[in-house]
Amino acid sequence: MRSIISIFLLVVIAWGMITVLQEIPFGSSETRVGQRYIDQGREETGAANIVTSVVLNYRGFDTLGEITVLFVAAIGLGAVLSTNRKKKKREIESASLVLYTGCRFLFPLILLFGAYIFIHGHLTPGGGFQGGAIVASAFVLVYLGCRGRRISETGSKAVESLGGLIFIGIGLAGLAVGGRYFLSNFLPKGELNTLFSAGVIPILYIAIGFKVGSELAGVIDHLIEDSE
């Protein structure tokens, strides 16, 4: 019964969607704003990856909000799971040698890969979020492979905080010294397609990368804790 009603409702909604999608033909999008970013993004931000320039410069404020959302989730998840958390000693069966060694071996490599991704965010696809996620997955590997190993909570908290503070600090610096706008790209743009270009973008992405990495790792950490 519920399914029939649900399907009926969804059909009505689908009808509306079809009506409106007639007006948005696939493949020929209305790119007034987007086209300007493509045309002038290189000069205005100095990033080769236009998506990055949009994410961090044109719509940098969104990204600030976005890292805040992740921060909220990490903090909130901690708050939800931390209440009456029992600090019981767990019997941890140690992983097999092969697994352990493999994890130890892979861990820095994955970290490095993640770091590469977020440092080169303004040049190649990828950036702070993707890199951060990869960094976090390195930690997941450690949690799963090398049982009992934990990142230090204070350390990850400090990284989180610092990442956020750097983002805001750069934004405020833009407001105070640079172009008198919050988050304005006040550093020299450099030469296109080189590592040291695009002004504040790489710095922001590195901050985001660390922040996202530690937050996602923290999320997994909190969830895994006392689950065994």
Q: How far is residue 66's CA from residue 45's CA, in Å, rounded to a whole number?
A: 20
Residue among 62 and 109 whose Cβ is closer to another protein: 62
Q: How far is residue 161's CA from residue 178's CA, in Å, rounded to a whole number?
A: 24
Contact 61, 136 (CB under 8 A): no
Of residues 77, 55, 217, 68, the one with CA closest to residue 143 = 217
Of residues 150, 121, 146, the one with CA closest to residue 208 = 121
Interacting residue with another protein among 180, 188, 194, 196 (CB under 8 A)? 180
Q: How far is the CB of 18 from another protein (least distance, A)?
A: 9
The residue written with tokens 């492979």 in the block is 145
Q: How far is the CB of 96 from another protein (least distance, A)?
A: 20
By CB under 8 A, which span of 87-95, 96-104, 116-124 interacts with another protein? 116-124
b/e 151-187 (16+ beta carbons within 10 angstroms → b): eeeeebbebbeebbebbeebbebbeeebeeebbbbbb
70 belongs to the binding site for another protein (CB under 8 A): yes
Interacting residue with another protein among 94, 96, 101, 161 (CB under 8 A)? 161
Residue among 109 and 165 whose Cβ is closer to another protein: 165
Site for another protein in 77-106 (CB under 8 A): 77-84
Site for another protein in 3-42 (CB under 8 A): 3, 5-7, 9-10, 12-17, 19-39, 41-42
Q: How far is the CB of 200 from another protein (least distance, A)?
A: 10
By CB under 8 A, which span of 76-84, 92-100, 101-109 interacts with another protein? 76-84
Helices 97-119 and 128-145: angle between axes, nearest 10 degrees: 170
Q: How far is the CB of 35 from another protein (least distance, A)?
A: 8
Site for another protein in 182-211 (CB under 8 A): 182-185, 192-193
Site for another protein in 117-146 (CB under 8 A): 117, 123-127, 129-130, 133-134, 136-137, 140
Of residues 28, 91, 73, 67, the one with CA closest to residue 212 = 67
